[in-house]
Amino acid sequence: MAKTKMTGFARMLIFLLFIVPLAFFGASYINGEDPVQKIKNFTGMGEGGTSKVAVPTDNQSEVSTATMEKRILQLERDLAIANEKLARCQTSGVE
Q: Per-residue b/e over 58-69, b at no fewer than 16 CB within 10 Å?
A: eeeeeeeeeeee
φ, ψ dihedrals at 37, nearest 5°: -65, -35
Of the pLDDT bands very low, low, confident and very high (cuts 50, 70, 90), residue 91 is: confident
Q: Are 29 and 21 in contact (CB under 8 A)?
A: no
Of the pLDDT bands very low, low, confident and very high (cuts 50, 70, 90), residue 62 is: low
Which residues make Cβ contacts (< 8 Å) with residue 32, sequence separation at least 6?
none
Which residues make Cβ contacts (< 8 Å) with residue 56, sequence separation at least 6?
64
Q: What is the pLDDT of residues 26-52, one digit of tens each?
A: 999 898 888 888 888 888 886 654 555
| pTM of the model as a whole | 0.41
Specify the pLDDT at position 42: 83
